[in-house]
Amino acid sequence: MPLNAYLAGFRPPPDPAVLADATGWSTDPEFWPAYLVVAGGSWTAPLSFDADPADVEQYADALHDDGTWPYITVDLHRDHRLHILFRNYEDDYGLDYLLQPAGSEALITAVALEGCFVGPAVSWDELATFADRPDALLLLLPMLGAGGVPPGSEGTVTAALTAVGIRRNRRKVARELLTPSKRMWGPVEWAEGMCLGRYSPRDPLCPPERQALFAEAFGGK
């Protein structure tokens, strides 16, 4: 499993037994409000679903329990995959968004939230290609580089939130998720498929073949 090899790069390396496949956890009533506050920075989300806010807080804490490293796998375009790993290394908590190219066991860090952060890795035009898969759109949303987000984006995110069970504050949560200041790298601009942010793996120094891989995986190009 590629995540086992990824863990081996830590010093000291965690026991692979800490990995927990959390892909199916999205059916838990606490999952979306917890994920949207932990990864998306929406402080309104815990109050916006039918789950008890106290249970959501406990669930969010459990996502960062250093005894378990949950991961969520998302199918991308052209058979590429993304693994969202809750990196619960002691004193180095964060989230790693790891691209696995189709037919490969390699992992490429697309985004790292907290610690030595990396990102963004997805433009709005690319994220919008997942609009017919609301769960995927919301899972990928923290990877967004928010420069040039069009006015209609709020409606797209609101529709995705409604599909996963939000009950109130839809537009407020959508705005929080789309606000560039919620991202560690702030607002960035995109030009010809390249991100002009200084911390992005898709900056102008990224090799053309890697640029093409990102465009194919996230935009279907």
How far is residue 9 CA from its own chain's centroid? 21
The pLDDT score that the predictor gives to residue 145 is 79
Read off the pLDDT of residues 182-213 as tens digits, 9 standing for 90 and up: 567 777 888 888 999 889 999 999 999 999 99
Residue 119: C-alpha distances to residues 10, 172, 189 (Å):
20, 24, 12
Residues in CB range of 121: below 8 A, 6 or more apart: 97, 110, 111, 143, 145, 195, 200, 201, 202, 214, 218
Residue 193 CA to residue 196 CA, distance in Å, equals 10
pLDDT at 211: 97
Q: Which of 199, 198, 202, 160 has the alpha carbon at shortest distance from 178?
A: 160
Rounded Cα distance between 114 and 88, Å, is 11
d(CA 61, CA 47): 16
Q: Span 130-152, mean pLDDT?
A: 90
Give the pair of three-digit tokens for residue 153.
Answer: 């984006």
Average pLDDT of the chain to the nearest whole number: 92
Instruction: Report how far residue 207's alpha carbon sits from residue 159's, in angstroms, rounded to the nearest whole number.
Output: 36
Mean pLDDT, residues 107-112: 96
Total domains in the fold of the chain: 1
| 110 SS3 class | strand
For residue 215, the enclosing domain spans: 2-219
| Whole-number percent of the chain with pLDDT over 90 | 77
* pTM of the entire predicted model: 0.96
Q: Is the dihedral of CA 129, 75, 163, 59 positive or negative?
A: negative
Going by DSSP bridges, is the β-strand pair 19-21/69-75 parallel, antiparallel, or unpaired?
parallel
